[in-house]
Amino acid sequence: MRLAVLFFTISVFLTLVALLQNFGMKSDQMRKRFSQVIETERTYSDEELKKSFSERVIKPMIKRISDGVKRSAGNRKPVSQSKATLKLEKQLKASGLALSLQEYSFIKTTLILLFFLSGIVLFLLLPVHMLLRVVIMMVMWNIPMFGTARFLTSRVKKRKDAILRELPETMDVLVVSVEAGLGLDAAIVRQYAKNKNVVLTELNNAIREVQMGVPRRTALKEMADRCDVKELTVFITALLQADQLGVPIKSVLDTQADRLRVERKQRIQAQAAKAPIKIMLPTVGFIFPVIFIILLGPAAVSMVSTLR
């Protein structure tokens, strides 16, 4: 009798476990899915919050407005770009700014309107002479026009100087990586993960374009045109010729690294040769007048007193 009761109890227990097992597995799967969704949402929100206010709000708003302007002007006939427009577009690419020509024009126009309105307010409120108020209004109107151009030019110059400064060290690092057994693309990607300087960033972007299906020759030529630095253009040309003729990449990198070191030494020597001429200007303008005053001042005072 006891064995029958024990057998019946075990049977009922196993039956309940079998019935509830499927429900428990479904519940665990639902719980895992909910946790994955929550973690994804949390990660996404954290990544969004890490971005700056301009990347989250200002740039998307400018892009939407520029897209609306493009759509509204879509029915117009295409106008051939002038030389000034082509030059401005080239400067935008060389500056590294993530702005299109329409977005840059929109920002510049907005700044001109804001400064011009501020100039009108100052013209109406300042208690100064009429001519001075007109001058202030014209100055406020010209600040964004010349300021944006100056900012873009200085940004292009700084980026080109950074490329010239970082190119020899980058070539040396790539030579060491290729000698260690890595391919050129793998060496660029590996070094970019460690040091995100301007040269490696441009090379890594070109490698990404190649991986997405763009021909290597086209991607490298576009990078050279975008950077607009003679030394980098020569390096890209050597890479393309080596790829076309079957020359080993290692020998090309060695040659280019030696050439870049020699050119950097020559640039430093040229800058050192210009230093005496640059020092002469403040010397003549500020030091010599003081020396003349010290030496000739007493003689001039005594001469004046004698003549009196």
Q: Is the pLDDT of residue 267 over 70?
A: yes
Model pLDDT, residue 21: 62
Model pLDDT, residue 232: 86
Residue 171: CB atoms within 10 Å: 22
Instruction: Give the three-state DSSP class for 35.
Output: helix
Report DSSP state, residue 283.
Answer: I
> d(Cα 166, Cα 169) in Å, to the nearest integer?
6
Model pLDDT, residue 22: 64
Model pLDDT, residue 35: 60
Q: Which two tokens stand for residue 190?
A: 């590996």
Among 79-93, 149-163, 234-248, the range scoring the smallest mean pLDDT is: 79-93
In a domain, 108, yes or no: no
Model pLDDT, residue 202: 87
Note down the domain range covering 238.
Answer: 160-268
How far lies 251's CA from each of 49, 190, 203, 245, 247, in Å?
A: 46, 20, 19, 13, 8
Select the more confidently predicted residue: 81 or 119.
119
Average pLDDT over residues 36-56: 54
Q: How many domains does the chain have?
A: 1
In a domain, 246, yes or no: yes
Where helices occur in the chain by DSSP H, the ranges are 2-50, 53, 59-72, 83-95, 101-125, 130-179, 184-194, 198-211, 216-227, 230-245, 249-282, 288-307
Condensed to tens digits (0 to 9), the pLDDT of residues 116-142 reads 888 888 888 888 888 888 888 888 888
Give residue for tokens 């940004």: 155
Model pLDDT, residue 11: 67
In a domain, 188, yes or no: yes
Model pLDDT, residue 40: 46
143 pLDDT band (50/70/90 cuts)?
A: confident
Task: Decide if 140 contacts 116 (C-beta within 8 A).
Answer: yes
How far lies 109's CA from each of 112, 203, 302, in Å?
A: 5, 34, 63
Condensed to tens digits (0 to 9), the pLDDT of residues 205-261 reads 888 888 888 888 888 888 888 888 888 888 888 888 888 888 888 888 888 888 888
Model pLDDT, residue 74: 47
The pLDDT mean for the chain works out to 78
In a domain, 61, yes or no: no
72 pLDDT band (50/70/90 cuts)?
A: low
**E strand residue ranges, the chain:** none
What amino acid occupies position 222?
A: E
Select the more confidently predicted residue: 14 or 275.
275
Average pLDDT over residues 176-186: 85
Residue 226: CB atoms within 10 Å: 18
In a domain, 245, yes or no: yes
Cα end-to-end span (Å), the chain: 147
Q: Which two tokens stand for residue 157?
A: 């110059």
Q: Is the pLDDT of residue 70 over 60?
A: no
Collect all residues with Cβ–Cβ distance below 8 Å to 166 and sequence separation of at least 6.
Answer: 197, 198, 199
In a domain, 129, yes or no: no
Q: Which two tokens stand for residue 298?
A: 């007493």
In a domain, 301, yes or no: no
Q: Which two tokens stand for residue 262?
A: 């020699």
Average pLDDT over residues 278-289: 82
Q: Is the pLDDT of residue 24 over 80?
A: no
Q: Is the pLDDT of residue 67 over 60?
A: yes
What's this model's pTM, rounded to 2 decimal places? 0.62
Give residue for tokens 């208690």: 127
Task: Decide if 88 contacts 99 (C-beta within 8 A).
Answer: no
Q: Which two tokens stand for residue 49?
A: 């919050």
> d(Cα 48, Cα 61) in Å, to the nearest integer?
16
Task: Decide if 249 contacts 242 (C-beta within 8 A).
Answer: yes
In a domain, 29, yes or no: no
CATH assignment at residue 168:
1.20.81
Model pLDDT, residue 45: 46
